[in-house]
Amino acid sequence: MPWLRQLPRWAWFGTGVLAFIAGLVNAVGYLGFRHESISNMTGNASLLGIALGTTNTGEIAHWALAIAAFVFGTLLSGVIVQQSTLKLGRRYGVALTLESLLLFLAVPFLDHTSSAGLYLASIAMGLQNGMVSAYSGALIRTTHVTGVFTDLGIYLGHLLRGLPVDMLRLRVCLVVAATFVLGSVFGALAFQRMQQHALLLPAVLTGACGLCYAGYHQYALAHGQVMSHARSREDSAPGP
């Protein structure tokens, strides 16, 4: 997978941080008043089917809105990021800042046991997953790990058979799985102390990621301009 080897160091770090954030958010969702997943729609789709089968109109509306919120988040990602290749200067900072704002807005609703807070958090997770999926060619997901564990098992099976395995891809699976689980651990610890306010932690962290990305982008632009100016001076300097 050549694109994996082309990812800059900041993208690798960001992938782990975003998986950590998703694990934390999901843990708060499971421990909250409805005990539901915020970042993983597979179980929610099953619960929507169960609600339809049992004709529970209240639950039908809730699970349909939860899924629609996540899809709306991915829609926002497509509108904001647009391009499908990773490149410094794309509007990832805008997407991360919006995700942070959505998580902040979710907290007061969760304080009042309103499902609106869950929908806002689901929009944030859809936005994050759409952003990462766009630049990774849909091969990296940070908000759920079913595919990651599937790939991990396949690669381990190949290793046992002595077949060639892309070790870089294997490391990606390990990083995403480990940071997602670690985020869930921190989410559980934070929820014990802060309850619904534990969602403020990923909100702050996501906002910090957006600011760091914007700062790094500005630094890279300034550094590039300085280098370009220096090369121009060298090219225009008279020969010996």
**CA atoms of 64 and 49, how far apart (whole Å):** 10
pTM of the shown model: 0.84
pLDDT confidence of residue 170: 85
pLDDT confidence of residue 123: 97
Residues 6+ apart with CB under 8 A from 130: 73, 74, 75, 76, 77, 78, 81
**CA atoms of 44 and 102, how far apart (whole Å):** 20
Q: What's the N-to-C CA distance of the chain in angstroms? A: 48
pLDDT confidence of residue 84: 55
Q: Mean pLDDT, to the nearest integer, of 87-116?
A: 88
- CATH of the structural domain 21-236, one choice from 2.60.40, 1.10.1740, 1.20.1250, 1.10.287: 1.20.1250
pLDDT in tens, 218-238: 776 676 554 444 454 455 555
- Domain ranges in the chain? 21-236
- Compute how many other C-beta atoms are within 10 angstroms of the C-beta atom of residue 224: 11
Residues listed for the chain = 240
Residue 114 in 3-state DSSP?
coil
pLDDT in tens, 31-76: 999 999 998 899 999 999 999 999 999 999 999 999 999 999 999 9
pLDDT confidence of residue 151: 86
136-155 burial, b for 16+ CB within 10 Å, e for fewer? beeebbbbbbeebeebbeeb
